[in-house]
Structure 1
Amino acid sequence: MANPQEAGLAKVDVQTPVAVEAPKSRAKTPRVKKAKPEPVKRTPKAVSKAVESEPVVAPGKRRTYSGKERAEKIAQIRKLIAGGSSVRSAVAEVKISEQTYYHWVKAAPPGEESDDLKDLVALEAENKELKKRLAEHLRKENAELKRKLGI
Protein backbone atom coordinates (compact mmCIF):
# COMPACT_ATOMS: atom_id res chain seq x y z
CA MET A 1 0.00 0.00 0.00
CA ALA A 2 0.97 3.58 -0.51
CA ASN A 3 2.23 5.79 2.16
CA PRO A 4 -0.77 7.42 3.95
CA GLN A 5 0.90 10.84 3.89
CA GLU A 6 1.34 10.59 0.15
CA ALA A 7 -2.25 9.45 -0.30
CA GLY A 8 -3.59 12.72 1.16
CA LEU A 9 -1.60 14.80 -1.21
CA ALA A 10 -3.02 15.30 -4.63
CA LYS A 11 -0.81 15.04 -7.57
CA VAL A 12 0.18 18.55 -8.60
CA ASP A 13 1.26 19.28 -12.11
CA VAL A 14 4.23 21.47 -12.20
CA GLN A 15 3.93 23.78 -15.12
CA THR A 16 6.58 25.87 -16.55
CA PRO A 17 6.00 29.54 -15.87
CA VAL A 18 4.42 31.39 -18.72
CA ALA A 19 6.07 34.67 -19.65
CA VAL A 20 3.78 37.51 -18.63
CA GLU A 21 3.71 40.33 -21.11
CA ALA A 22 3.73 43.85 -19.76
CA PRO A 23 0.91 46.02 -21.07
CA LYS A 24 2.01 48.03 -24.02
CA SER A 25 2.34 51.73 -23.33
CA ARG A 26 0.43 54.14 -25.42
CA ALA A 27 2.18 55.38 -28.40
CA LYS A 28 3.32 58.92 -27.80
CA THR A 29 1.84 61.42 -30.16
CA PRO A 30 3.89 64.51 -30.87
CA ARG A 31 2.53 67.72 -29.40
CA VAL A 32 1.35 70.37 -31.73
CA LYS A 33 3.04 73.68 -31.00
CA LYS A 34 0.90 76.76 -31.11
CA ALA A 35 2.02 79.52 -33.37
CA LYS A 36 3.29 82.57 -31.51
CA PRO A 37 1.65 85.83 -32.47
CA GLU A 38 3.89 88.24 -34.25
CA PRO A 39 4.93 91.24 -32.16
CA VAL A 40 3.10 94.44 -33.00
CA LYS A 41 5.37 97.06 -34.46
CA ARG A 42 4.55 100.52 -33.23
CA THR A 43 4.96 103.63 -35.20
CA PRO A 44 5.81 106.88 -33.40
CA LYS A 45 2.12 107.92 -33.64
CA ALA A 46 0.99 104.68 -31.97
CA VAL A 47 3.52 105.19 -29.19
CA SER A 48 2.35 108.74 -28.51
CA LYS A 49 -1.29 107.56 -28.44
CA ALA A 50 -0.37 104.85 -25.94
CA VAL A 51 1.28 107.42 -23.67
CA GLU A 52 -1.75 109.71 -23.77
CA SER A 53 -4.28 106.96 -22.99
CA GLU A 54 -4.17 104.28 -20.29
CA PRO A 55 -0.69 102.78 -19.97
CA VAL A 56 -0.23 99.44 -21.70
CA VAL A 57 0.60 96.73 -19.16
CA ALA A 58 1.77 93.30 -20.27
CA PRO A 59 -0.35 90.39 -19.06
CA GLY A 60 0.87 89.11 -15.71
CA LYS A 61 2.58 92.40 -14.90
CA ARG A 62 1.38 94.78 -12.22
CA ARG A 63 0.68 98.43 -12.89
CA THR A 64 2.52 100.82 -10.60
CA TYR A 65 1.15 104.25 -9.81
CA SER A 66 3.06 107.33 -8.73
CA GLY A 67 2.15 109.13 -5.52
CA LYS A 68 0.33 111.81 -7.49
CA GLU A 69 -1.73 109.22 -9.40
CA ARG A 70 -2.59 107.46 -6.14
CA ALA A 71 -3.76 110.71 -4.56
CA GLU A 72 -5.90 111.48 -7.62
CA LYS A 73 -7.51 108.04 -7.58
CA ILE A 74 -8.18 108.23 -3.82
CA ALA A 75 -9.78 111.65 -4.33
CA GLN A 76 -11.94 110.29 -7.17
CA ILE A 77 -13.09 107.38 -5.02
CA ARG A 78 -13.92 109.63 -2.06
CA LYS A 79 -15.89 111.91 -4.36
CA LEU A 80 -17.87 108.93 -5.70
CA ILE A 81 -18.50 107.64 -2.17
CA ALA A 82 -19.68 111.10 -1.07
CA GLY A 83 -22.03 111.04 -4.06
CA GLY A 84 -23.76 107.96 -2.63
CA SER A 85 -22.02 105.09 -4.39
CA SER A 86 -20.57 102.10 -2.51
CA VAL A 87 -16.85 101.59 -2.03
CA ARG A 88 -16.92 98.50 -4.23
CA SER A 89 -18.55 100.26 -7.19
CA ALA A 90 -16.41 103.39 -6.76
CA VAL A 91 -13.20 101.35 -6.78
CA ALA A 92 -14.36 99.36 -9.80
CA GLU A 93 -15.06 102.59 -11.68
CA VAL A 94 -11.52 103.85 -10.98
CA LYS A 95 -10.16 100.43 -12.05
CA ILE A 96 -8.28 99.35 -8.94
CA SER A 97 -9.07 96.68 -6.36
CA GLU A 98 -10.64 97.35 -2.98
CA GLN A 99 -7.58 95.95 -1.26
CA THR A 100 -5.32 98.35 -3.17
CA TYR A 101 -7.56 101.26 -2.21
CA TYR A 102 -7.40 100.38 1.49
CA HIS A 103 -3.61 99.92 1.35
CA TRP A 104 -3.21 103.33 -0.29
CA VAL A 105 -5.48 105.03 2.25
CA LYS A 106 -3.56 103.44 5.13
CA ALA A 107 -0.19 104.47 3.67
CA ALA A 108 -1.25 108.02 2.72
CA PRO A 109 0.25 110.78 4.86
CA PRO A 110 -2.30 112.38 7.21
CA GLY A 111 -1.81 115.91 5.81
CA GLU A 112 -3.00 114.74 2.44
CA GLU A 113 -6.42 113.62 3.64
CA SER A 114 -8.14 116.95 4.22
CA ASP A 115 -7.82 120.50 5.48
CA ASP A 116 -9.38 119.53 8.83
CA LEU A 117 -6.02 118.43 10.24
CA LYS A 118 -4.33 121.63 9.06
CA ASP A 119 -7.10 123.69 10.66
CA LEU A 120 -6.73 121.77 13.92
CA VAL A 121 -2.97 122.35 14.02
CA ALA A 122 -3.49 126.07 13.33
CA LEU A 123 -6.09 126.28 16.14
CA GLU A 124 -3.74 124.57 18.58
CA ALA A 125 -0.96 127.04 17.74
CA GLU A 126 -3.35 129.96 18.19
CA ASN A 127 -4.55 128.61 21.56
CA LYS A 128 -0.95 128.26 22.73
CA GLU A 129 -0.22 131.88 21.80
CA LEU A 130 -3.40 133.13 23.53
CA LYS A 131 -2.55 131.22 26.71
CA LYS A 132 0.91 132.87 26.77
CA ARG A 133 -0.61 136.32 26.35
CA LEU A 134 -3.21 135.68 29.06
CA ALA A 135 -0.53 134.43 31.51
CA GLU A 136 1.57 137.54 30.81
CA HIS A 137 -1.41 139.83 31.36
CA LEU A 138 -2.35 138.10 34.63
CA ARG A 139 1.26 138.36 35.94
CA LYS A 140 1.35 142.08 35.22
CA GLU A 141 -2.04 142.62 36.88
CA ASN A 142 -1.01 140.56 39.90
CA ALA A 143 2.24 142.54 40.27
CA GLU A 144 0.32 145.84 40.07
CA LEU A 145 -2.16 144.76 42.77
CA LYS A 146 0.70 143.69 45.07
CA ARG A 147 2.39 147.04 44.59
CA LYS A 148 -0.84 148.96 45.42
CA LEU A 149 -1.47 146.88 48.53
CA GLY A 150 2.14 147.17 49.62
CA ILE A 151 2.78 143.49 49.82
Structure 2
Amino acid sequence: MAEENNTGSIAAAVAAEDEKTSAAKKKRSPRRRKAAAESGRAVSEAPAAKPRRYSEQERKEKLRLIETQVAESNGTLKNAIKSAGISEQTYYQWKRTVKPVEHRAEKPLPAGEELADLVRLEEENQRLRKLLAEKLRAENAELRNRLGLD
Protein backbone atom coordinates (compact mmCIF):
# COMPACT_ATOMS: atom_id res chain seq x y z
CA MET A 1 0.00 0.00 0.00
CA ALA A 2 2.90 2.27 0.44
CA GLU A 3 3.49 2.05 -3.28
CA GLU A 4 -0.04 3.18 -4.12
CA ASN A 5 0.24 6.24 -1.88
CA ASN A 6 3.56 7.10 -3.43
CA THR A 7 2.21 7.07 -7.01
CA GLY A 8 -0.82 9.04 -5.96
CA SER A 9 1.31 11.84 -4.60
CA ILE A 10 3.32 11.95 -7.87
CA ALA A 11 0.13 12.13 -9.92
CA ALA A 12 -1.14 14.97 -7.72
CA ALA A 13 2.17 16.84 -8.12
CA VAL A 14 2.07 16.43 -11.91
CA ALA A 15 -1.55 17.64 -12.00
CA ALA A 16 -0.61 20.70 -9.91
CA GLU A 17 2.26 21.53 -12.29
CA ASP A 18 -0.06 21.24 -15.32
CA GLU A 19 -2.47 23.68 -13.74
CA LYS A 20 0.34 26.18 -13.08
CA THR A 21 1.74 25.98 -16.64
CA SER A 22 -1.69 26.17 -18.28
CA ALA A 23 -2.52 29.28 -16.27
CA ALA A 24 0.80 30.86 -17.30
CA LYS A 25 0.31 30.17 -21.03
CA LYS A 26 -1.19 32.93 -23.12
CA LYS A 27 -4.12 32.27 -25.34
CA ARG A 28 -3.38 32.68 -29.04
CA SER A 29 -5.51 34.61 -31.41
CA PRO A 30 -6.55 32.87 -34.62
CA ARG A 31 -4.12 33.04 -37.54
CA ARG A 32 -4.50 35.70 -40.15
CA ARG A 33 -5.21 34.67 -43.70
CA LYS A 34 -2.41 34.75 -46.23
CA ALA A 35 -1.73 37.89 -48.27
CA ALA A 36 -2.56 36.13 -51.54
CA ALA A 37 -6.11 35.53 -50.39
CA GLU A 38 -6.44 39.17 -49.31
CA SER A 39 -5.07 40.48 -52.60
CA GLY A 40 -7.49 38.23 -54.49
CA ARG A 41 -10.37 39.92 -52.71
CA ALA A 42 -8.93 43.38 -53.39
CA VAL A 43 -8.73 42.64 -57.12
CA SER A 44 -12.34 41.56 -57.25
CA GLU A 45 -13.50 44.65 -55.34
CA ALA A 46 -11.60 47.28 -57.38
CA PRO A 47 -9.95 46.66 -60.77
CA ALA A 48 -6.21 47.36 -60.85
CA ALA A 49 -4.95 50.13 -63.14
CA LYS A 50 -2.88 49.03 -66.12
CA PRO A 51 0.67 50.38 -66.28
CA ARG A 52 1.05 53.24 -68.76
CA ARG A 53 3.14 52.50 -71.85
CA TYR A 54 4.87 55.43 -73.51
CA SER A 55 6.01 55.53 -77.12
CA GLU A 56 9.60 56.41 -78.01
CA GLN A 57 8.53 59.91 -79.01
CA GLU A 58 6.70 60.47 -75.71
CA ARG A 59 9.74 59.25 -73.79
CA LYS A 60 12.07 61.63 -75.62
CA GLU A 61 9.66 64.53 -75.06
CA LYS A 62 9.41 63.84 -71.33
CA LEU A 63 13.20 63.54 -71.04
CA ARG A 64 13.65 66.87 -72.85
CA LEU A 65 11.00 68.47 -70.64
CA ILE A 66 12.77 67.27 -67.49
CA GLU A 67 16.17 68.48 -68.72
CA THR A 68 14.82 71.93 -69.63
CA GLN A 69 13.04 72.29 -66.29
CA VAL A 70 16.20 71.48 -64.40
CA ALA A 71 18.34 73.81 -66.56
CA GLU A 72 15.96 76.80 -66.66
CA SER A 73 14.41 76.92 -63.22
CA ASN A 74 17.45 75.63 -61.32
CA GLY A 75 15.03 73.20 -59.63
CA THR A 76 15.89 69.76 -58.43
CA LEU A 77 15.82 66.76 -60.67
CA LYS A 78 13.36 64.98 -58.38
CA ASN A 79 10.81 67.78 -58.66
CA ALA A 80 11.15 67.87 -62.46
CA ILE A 81 10.65 64.10 -62.67
CA LYS A 82 7.55 64.26 -60.47
CA SER A 83 6.09 67.11 -62.52
CA ALA A 84 6.58 64.99 -65.66
CA GLY A 85 4.49 62.25 -64.04
CA ILE A 86 7.02 59.42 -63.98
CA SER A 87 9.11 57.76 -61.29
CA GLU A 88 12.84 58.26 -60.81
CA GLN A 89 13.52 54.65 -61.76
CA THR A 90 11.62 55.10 -65.01
CA TYR A 91 13.55 58.31 -65.77
CA TYR A 92 16.93 56.65 -65.31
CA GLN A 93 15.91 53.57 -67.31
CA TRP A 94 14.72 55.74 -70.19
CA LYS A 95 17.84 57.85 -70.05
CA ARG A 96 20.06 54.75 -70.13
CA THR A 97 18.24 53.24 -73.13
CA VAL A 98 18.10 56.47 -75.13
CA LYS A 99 21.80 57.38 -74.80
CA PRO A 100 23.34 54.39 -76.67
CA VAL A 101 20.95 54.81 -79.57
CA GLU A 102 21.90 58.49 -79.94
CA HIS A 103 25.63 57.67 -79.90
CA ARG A 104 25.23 55.11 -82.67
CA ALA A 105 23.33 57.53 -84.87
CA GLU A 106 25.95 60.29 -84.46
CA LYS A 107 28.88 58.16 -85.64
CA PRO A 108 29.35 58.62 -89.42
CA LEU A 109 30.20 55.67 -91.61
CA PRO A 110 33.58 55.82 -93.38
CA ALA A 111 33.54 56.92 -97.02
CA GLY A 112 35.16 54.97 -99.89
CA GLU A 113 38.64 56.55 -99.55
CA GLU A 114 38.55 56.30 -95.78
CA LEU A 115 37.60 52.64 -96.04
CA ALA A 116 40.53 51.98 -98.39
CA ASP A 117 42.89 53.73 -95.96
CA LEU A 118 41.50 51.64 -93.12
CA VAL A 119 42.13 48.42 -95.07
CA ARG A 120 45.72 49.50 -95.85
CA LEU A 121 46.35 50.29 -92.18
CA GLU A 122 45.02 46.91 -91.09
CA GLU A 123 47.29 45.12 -93.61
CA GLU A 124 50.30 47.11 -92.41
CA ASN A 125 49.37 46.32 -88.80
CA GLN A 126 49.34 42.58 -89.57
CA ARG A 127 52.69 42.81 -91.37
CA LEU A 128 54.29 44.65 -88.44
CA ARG A 129 52.90 42.12 -85.97
CA LYS A 130 54.47 39.28 -87.96
CA LEU A 131 57.86 41.07 -88.06
CA LEU A 132 57.75 41.65 -84.31
CA ALA A 133 56.82 38.02 -83.63
CA GLU A 134 59.76 36.78 -85.79
CA LYS A 135 62.16 39.15 -84.05
CA LEU A 136 61.01 38.03 -80.60
CA ARG A 137 61.33 34.35 -81.58
CA ALA A 138 64.88 34.95 -82.79
CA GLU A 139 65.84 36.77 -79.57
CA ASN A 140 64.25 34.01 -77.49
CA ALA A 141 66.17 31.32 -79.38
CA GLU A 142 69.44 33.25 -78.96
CA LEU A 143 68.88 33.64 -75.20
CA ARG A 144 68.13 29.93 -74.84
CA ASN A 145 71.39 29.08 -76.65
CA ARG A 146 73.38 31.41 -74.37
CA LEU A 147 71.80 29.90 -71.26
CA GLY A 148 72.24 26.38 -72.55
CA LEU A 149 68.58 25.45 -72.29
CA ASP A 150 68.46 23.86 -75.78
TM tier, shorter chain?
A: 0.3 to 0.5
TM-score of the aligned structures, taking structure 1 as reference length = 0.39
Higher-Rg member (1/2): 1
User: Relative CO higher for 1 or 2, CA cutoff 8 Å, sep ≥ 6?
Assistant: 2
TM-score of the aligned structures, taking structure 2 as reference length = 0.39
The structure richer in helix per residue is: 2
